[in-house]
Amino acid sequence: MVSIRSASLAGTEVEAGPDAVRALLLDVVGCGLLMPGVESLTAEGDDIYHYVLQTISNGAVSHTPDHRTRFDTSDPALIRWEPVGEHNFRSWGVFRTTDGHAPGTTYLEIDTRSEADVAIAPVVLPLVEPFARQQSDQVTEGFLAAIKERVESGARVLSGATS
């Protein structure tokens, strides 16, 4: 068993105020289900959530991530998460929100790192890690786009604007 490590950092300007962005982020289940690849997400209490993700396969490796995560929402500008317990996948990260470049906008950033325990020979690891990094970047960028779309569509409805 080896651990495949990856990390991603992505950000975007959201056409909504920080309260609207944070409201979605604080809905951990509703927001988490926007993340590409999430099959199920359930609240277990004490800010702990159980994720089951779709199987990831690249021909050499097949892995179904299953993990528990604790969220820390005590800082108004940061929402952090970290793994809880021993699982075949672990994720650490933070959502950061800052004022956007224009009034009524928010800059949202996702900074994450993860480890997946897979049954492969250590010699294969250098061949698999680039795929894991690419997959992590795609998930992070897709998640960010889905959050942006959800928040902005809600902001348009609240303001009476349509597009």
pLDDT in tens, the chain (163 residues): 899 999 999 999 999 999 999 999 999 999 999 999 999 999 999 999 999 999 988 776 788 889 999 999 999 889 999 999 999 999 999 999 999 999 999 999 999 999 999 888 888 888 888 888 998 999 999 999 999 999 999 855 554 554 4
**Domains of the chain (ranges plus CATH)?**
2-159 (3.30.530.20)
- Please list the residues that pair with 90 across neighbouring strands: 115
Judge whether 65 and 53 are in contact, CB under 8 Å: yes
Q: What is the pTM of this model?
A: 0.89
At position 146, the amino acid (one-letter code) is: A
Q: What is the pLDDT of residue 20?
A: 95
Q: Cα separations (Å) of 5 from 67, 87, 124, 125?
A: 15, 14, 13, 10
Q: What is the pLDDT of residue 163?
A: 47
Q: What is the pLDDT of residue 76?
A: 80
- Specify the DSSP class assigned to residue 114: E
